[in-house]
Amino acid sequence: MLGLDIGFFNHLLPTPAVPALCRDPCTDHTPSAPLCRALTMVNETQHTCSASSSSRSDGGSSSGSESSKDNSRCSTPVLDLDRHERLREKMRRRQDAGDRWFSLEFFPPRTANAAVNLISRFDRMGAGGPLFIDVTWHPAGDPGSDKETSSMIIANTAVNYCGLETILHMTCCNQTKDDITGHLQKAKRLGLKNIMALRGDPSGEEWEEEVDGFNYAVDLVKHIRNEFDDYFDICVAGYPKGHPEAESYEADLRHLKEKVFAGADFIITQLFFQPETFLKFMKDCQAIGITCPIIPGIFPIQGYHSLRQLVKLSKLEVPQEIKDVIEPIKDNDAAIRNYGVELAVSMCRELLDSGMVHGLHFYTLNREVATTEVLKRLGLWKEDPRRPLPWAVSAHPKRRVEDVRPIFWASRPKSYIYRTQEWDDFPNGRWGNSSSPAFGELKDYYLFYLKSKSPREELLKMWGEELTSEESVFEVFTCYITGEPNRNGYKVTCMPWNDDPLATETNLLKDELERVNRRGILTINSQPNINGKPSTDPIVGWGPSGGYVFQKAYLEFFTSSEIVTALLKVLKKYELRVNYHIVNVKGQNITNAPDLQPNAVTWGIFPGREIIQPTVVDPVSFLSWKDEAFALWIEQWAKLYEEESPSRMIIQYIHDNYYLVNLVDNDFPLENCLWQVVEDTFELLNSPTQQ
């Protein structure tokens, strides 16, 4: 964040030094027209889309109900209000409800590998339930470009692929109006909805104000409101001690007020070391008429050197009592971090207890441990966050209505999002309604947000330095399921089709999965049948509380043509109960699905709602998934080995000759019959009379 610390926090990493400190004064203006529009719209939105479920007895005559019909009708069930609100509305709703929340700040990484790791961190820290994250603008890192390390692309990934409400920082000094408009347009196109408007660090010693240029953050705020009306939520920076270069604390407060009156929606502050600092600042802001939310920036001290560098760059003074504690333990990283956590927890508690603070903003320095610890100690980390849907939602505005996906990408949601990013509309209820079911090609299997987090050597250890037969492949699958080490003593923690360890839900099927994988039913996706568990069930639950969730048993696997031949005979016995799709890489396609209709395999019933059916087995999408699933054999596994090597030829053989099979047991209230189908298949294969 914070003009000031864009430079600052990036500098904590070993980066070329750039002038770090700048001031962020603002010009003097009265509230602008766009701001008035913005405020009006907040009220309107709240009126038509309120979360209230209280009784209304306000004589809604027929004309009254007419108007509510026009405005309040939602075209899709609003399962998760969060997905339909803008950030400032969420903030206000949480505040009104007395909820406390937190947010997390990250800076863009310096390498593509670091970007892959950061995305994983987004996923892990996103699970704790931040209200939003923000990504700093790194002027030296080509921040608006398409590089995987740019601020723009990191923010894009957070929104679209990790489903996080995200604020993109943007600085304005030393940039043309056209550049800035271009960045904003691109941000909008990518689905970003929030901007932190900053001046940034002027480059060069002799910086001077440019006439008609963007000299201060307030200019950027005005520009955003002029050019983009109310599209973006705008955040600005506040300095609890006053900006180090401001004429005075009072002058700095006036600058802040100007930024707010120019159209900013809320304020995040620079870090501070004592709660009184923030509380005084907040009262001072309110005294001069700043009424928007002001969110304290929290910096858990994580090490001696980063703190020293911080002090040097920010010109903030570290209170003596903190220095007194730290100096004696300066070489003990763990001790300093523990102290930093204690200090942060105690400061946060004081802030929250004041009743003036509802949300806390954390400067993470891209690290997890300290911030997560503080949040857990405060009880703000949502250990088991409710899933709005059984898959990872995207926060792109056009995906707000997305409430159904094919089951095939269950373990590769980012691939699904990537391949459907060009869709204009998302299926709003029925998969069959999709006006544009064409999937984008996965042209580059190393798209950074899809890249395996494990390096080649690690993959070889897990999947085998040398494969000697199809059976050695069966073993890899089996070890992945069981969690047991493979013959070389390594655990198999990921597979080409699953970048993560087994889902908790899959553990319910572990024994059966192990048994069938050993025998060459190479499972890549499965779910148990569920007949009406509460929506709050910790393993299979999703959606609002008070509902019931259901599933049909599903099993998807690769297997040999010999097994498929027997399976097809067995499936005749289950014709009315089991739907199947069986394809090979050449496109041969055997199915008993009626008329290529989707089969709903996950659905939920909630109080006062329409039925939600978020997961389907869609026959048409299966053919796109098939291409991806087969390609993963080659791209992620075969290519680990030398060309012409026996290991590579074994994978290639499987790719060329195996079938991809999916099975649905439609009788969800009965015991899952799919295991029996597989048993029957092996029995048939082993019977002497089988042909």
Which are the catalytic amino acids?
105
**Alpha-carbon distances of 655 from 213, 415, 473, 516, rounded to whole Å:** 59, 20, 12, 19
Nearer of residues 354 and 433 to a second copy, judged by Cβ: 433
Length of the chain: 691
Handedness of CA 179, 180, 184, 185 (dihedral sign): negative
Shortest distance, position 682 Cβ to a second copy, whole Å: 21
Out of 355, 455, 538, 587, the only residue in the binding site for a second copy (CB under 8 A) is 587
**Alpha-carbon distances of 229 from 196, 226, 259, rounded to whole Å:** 16, 6, 16
Nearer of residues 415 and 579 to a second copy, judged by Cβ: 579
- Give the DSSP letter of residue 606: -
- Which residues, numbered 41-60, are part of the site for a second copy (CB under 8 A)? 49-51, 53-57, 59-60
Out of 120, 454, 482, 592, the only residue in the binding site for a second copy (CB under 8 A) is 592
CB-CB contact of 418 with 442 (8 Å) = yes
Out of 74, 112, 311, 539, the only residue in the binding site for a second copy (CB under 8 A) is 74
Name the token pair of 534.
Answer: 């509460």
Out of 21, 292, 590, 684, the only residue in the binding site for a second copy (CB under 8 A) is 590
Shortest distance, position 663 Cβ to a second copy, whole Å: 12
Query: Which amino acid makes up residue 3?
Result: G
- If one asks whether residue 431 binds a second copy (CB under 8 A), the answer comes out as yes
Out of 16, 69, 204, 538, the only residue in the binding site for a second copy (CB under 8 A) is 69
- If one asks whether residue 30 binds a second copy (CB under 8 A), the answer comes out as no
- Compute the distance between CA of residue 39 and CA of residue 621 in angstroms, rounded to an integer: 44
Shortest distance, position 575 Cβ to a second copy, whole Å: 8
Shortest distance, position 144 Cβ to a second copy, whole Å: 37
- Which residues, numbered 611-670, are part of the site for a second copy (CB under 8 A)? 611, 613, 616, 620, 623, 627, 664, 666-669
Nearer of residues 278 and 439 to a second copy, judged by Cβ: 439
- If one asks whether residue 577 binds a second copy (CB under 8 A), the answer comes out as yes
- If one asks whether residue 485 binds a second copy (CB under 8 A), the answer comes out as no
Nearer of residues 274 and 536 to a second copy, judged by Cβ: 536
Shortest distance, position 633 Cβ to a second copy, whole Å: 17
- Compute the distance between CA of residue 513 and CA of residue 491 in angstroms, rounded to an integer: 17
The torsion of the CA quartet 535, 450, 129, 615, rounded to 10 degrees, works out to -20
**Alpha-carbon distances of 651 from 118, 278, 441, 633, rounded to whole Å:** 31, 61, 23, 7
Sheet containing strand 530-534, edge to edge, reads: 405-406, 612-617, 599-605, 548-551, 530-534
Bin 200: left if φ > 0, else alpha if -120 < ψ < 50, else beta. Answer: left
- Compute the distance between CA of residue 85 and CA of residue 397 in angstroms, rounded to an integer: 10
Segment interacting with a second copy (CB under 8 A) among 430-438, 452-460, 512-520, 649-657: 430-438
Out of 95, 174, 428, 507, the only residue in the binding site for a second copy (CB under 8 A) is 428
Query: Which amino acid makes up residue 291?
Result: T
- If one asks whether residue 143 binds a second copy (CB under 8 A), the answer comes out as no
Out of 20, 22, 35, 78, the only residue in the binding site for a second copy (CB under 8 A) is 78
- Compute the distance between CA of residue 491 and CA of residue 479 in angstroms, rounded to an integer: 7
Q: Strand 530-534 vs strand 578-584: parallel, antiparallel, or unpaired?
A: unpaired
CB-CB contact of 621 with 406 (8 Å) = yes
End-to-end CA distance of the chain: 70
- Which residues, numbered 600-619, are part of the site for a second copy (CB under 8 A)? 600, 603, 605-611, 613, 616
- Which residues, numbered 518-547, are part of the site for a second copy (CB under 8 A)? 531-532, 546-547
Name the token pair of 175.
Answer: 């940039």
Nearer of residues 450 and 582 to a second copy, judged by Cβ: 582
- If one asks whether residue 68 binds a second copy (CB under 8 A), the answer comes out as yes
Out of 208, 576, 643, 689, the only residue in the binding site for a second copy (CB under 8 A) is 576
Shortest distance, position 424 Cβ to a second copy, whole Å: 17
Beta bridge partners of residue 134, listed in sequence order: 105, 167
Nearer of residues 177 and 609 to a second copy, judged by Cβ: 609
Nearer of residues 288 and 611 to a second copy, judged by Cβ: 611
Binding residues with a second copy: total (CB under 8 A): 73
Shortest distance, position 387 Cβ to a second copy, whole Å: 19
CB-CB contact of 523 with 516 (8 Å) = yes
Segment interacting with a second copy (CB under 8 A) among 165-173, 334-342, 392-400, 595-603: 595-603
> Which contiguous run of DSSP H or E holds residue 641?
none
Out of 429, 482, 519, 684, the only residue in the binding site for a second copy (CB under 8 A) is 429
Query: Which amino acid makes up residue 9?
Result: F
Rounded to a whole number of angstroms, the CA Rg of the chain reads: 28
- If one asks whether residue 565 binds a second copy (CB under 8 A), the answer comes out as no
